[in-house]
A and B are shown apart, each in its own frame.
Chain A
C-alpha cells in the first residue's frame, strides 16, 4: 500500500494520486474521465463505472493506502440543481471508495487549507497552485490545451499531500 489519492469532487474537480516517494502517479480530470456528455450543449453526467474502475486500477497497481476527499456542503445562495449535482458526485465517490474497502478521510476545506497552505502567500485558489508548483514540479497543472492552471488538480494534489503528511509519510 503505497499511494495516497486526493479527490476534489465536483464536475470541475480532479483526482491526483501521489506515491509515498513523492512522485505523482495519476492525474485525472473529472470533466474528461468521470463524466459523459448528455444531449446537446455542455451538460454532462457522472460516470459511476469510470470512477470505480479508476480506483480499482490504482488499487491493483499500487495499493491505495488512503483516499482523502474534500467535504462538500450546501452553500447559502447556491441553486438546488447545482447542489444536487455536487452532492451526487460526492456520494458516488464515497460509495465507490466504501465498496472497494479503501480507507478514506473526509476533510473540510478549511482544515486542509489551514494545514497545507499555512505559509503560502497569496489568496484563494492561487495558493494551492503555487504550492503544487513548488512541491510537485512534475505535476502538470495545464493538461491538454489548457493555458490556465487547473485549480481542481491543485486542490486534489493538496488533499493528497495532506493525506501523506497526516500519515507521516511526507514532511
Chain B
C-alpha cells in the first residue's frame, strides 16, 4: 500500500494554481520519491553512489528533458519542469542535479542547437534515460569566467581534435555523451563527445562532502578525435552554454524549495516531539521564531518560482528574472537547512535526519549554475547598467 503520503508546506495554496497535468506530474514524482528515494538516499549518500535504478525510473516516468517538445521528449510546461525539480530535490539535490544536467544541459543544447540528425540520434535515447548526458563548460581555472576557457578544438579536415580539461561535471563518469564547449578558432562552439571517442576520459572526482549521491567528474581531452558531424551547428559563443544554464537555473529555483520544505518538515516534527524542561521545544519562543521565519521564506520562494514558471511558459522572461529566483531560493534554502539543523540539536548531525545532507548539498547548489555573488552582480548590472564582475570594462 502507498505509505504515508507527503503533504508539502504550501501556506498560500500556490499549488492550487497548477494545471491538472502539472498536479498529476507532481504526484507521480512525489510518490516515487517517497517510496524509492527517501528510504534509500542516506545509504546512497554514505556510499557515494547514484543508484542506477533512479535513472531507469526517471526515464520510465518520462520526466527527463521535461519542457522539450518532439523527438519523444515529454513536452511539458516549464511550470511542470519546476515542479519535477522541486519534488526530486525534496529527496536530494544530487538526484535533482542528475535530472537538471540530463534535461537542461545535455538534451536542451541538442534540441535547440543541434542538427536534425543529431536530434534524432540522441534525444529519444536521452528522454528514455537509456543514454546519460553531461555538460562540459567549467574548467579547473575557469568557473565564473567561462568566456576565457582554454579547452580548444582544432579543425583537422576530416575530424576535430579536442584538447583540454573540464571539471565539476555532474554525471561525467556515467555518461554516454558530453556536450563540450570549446574554442574553435577563438570562438566558443558546442561539441558532442561520446564516451568511446579516442582521447577522452572521465575520471570521477572523489572526496566530496556535498552532493555525495551524485557522480561528479573531470572530463579530460588529450588529442581527442571526434567526427565532424559532432559540432552543434546552431550556436556560436557564450549564448550556447548560457541558454542551457538559464534553463537549469530556472529548475534549481524550484528545486531549492523542495530541499527547504524537507528541512522545514523535519524541523517542525522534531520540535513537536523533542521534550526539554518538560515541554516540547516547539513551545519555546525562539524555536517558533525560527519556524515562522522558515514559513515566510518558503512561501515567498514558492510565489517567486511559480510566477517565474508562468513567465517562462509565456516567453516573457529575461535571464535576470532567473538569476533573482535562483539566487534567492537557494540562499534561503541553505539558511533554512542551517537553522533546521540547529533546531534538531545534536541529533541534527546524524543521517537519521536529512538535515545536514541537505545543508551540505545546498553549499554546492549555491555555488554551481552561477554562484550567489555572480547572480547578485547580474542583477546589479541590470539595475545600473554597469558591470561589476571585473576590473575595467
A binds B: no
